């Protein structure tokens, strides 16, 4: 858990050692993209305001916490949510692979 790198299965029983700061943003992007796709398939079952809040969050997570605004406090909140998301992903992967 405390290491800054992870082993990635590359196929044919081969493994590659990669830095977490490279791997987890890519994983976050894939998770967010899949969640976005799922939300759009369930769009008619969600309230409009809930759908908009969820898709906004997923968009920020897929953009590595980037937000196009000059509001410093809003940027801090999104970056904090992104960092929490990244830590959560690392814990999930750790629990599934230990």
Task: Write the pLDDT tens digit of every residue in 39-95.
Answer: 999 999 999 999 998 988 888 888 888 888 888 998 899 889 988 988 888 888 888
Residue 98 has pLDDT above 80, yes or no: no
Average pLDDT over residues 28-44: 91
With 90 as the cut, is the pLDDT of residue 23 above it?
A: no
For residues 60 and 78, the answer to whether their CB atoms sit within 8 Å is: yes
Query: For residue 1, what pLDDT is reported?
Result: 63
Tell me the C-alpha distance between 84 and 94, whole Å. Answer: 15
Average pLDDT over residues 3-12: 85
Helix axes 48-62, 20-41, angle to 10 degrees: 160
- Predicted model pTM: 0.71
Is the distance from CB of 10 to CB of 16 less than 8 angstroms?
yes
The single residue listed with the structure tokens 């509001």 is 71
Return the pLDDT at 12: 92
Residue ranges of domains in the chain:
20-97
């Amino acid at each position: 858990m405390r290491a800054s790198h992870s082993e990635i299965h590359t196929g044919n029983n081969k493994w590659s050692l990669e830095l977490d700061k490279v791997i987890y943003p890519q994983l976050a992007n894939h998770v967010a993209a899949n969640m976005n796709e799922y939300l759009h398939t369930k769009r008619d079952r969600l309230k409009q305001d809930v759908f908009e809040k969820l898709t906004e969050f997923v968009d920020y997570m897929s953009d590595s916490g980037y937000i196009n605004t000059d509001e410093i406090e809003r940027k801090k909140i999104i970056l904090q949510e992104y960092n929490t998301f990244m830590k959560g992903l690392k814990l999930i992967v750790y629990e599934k692979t230990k």
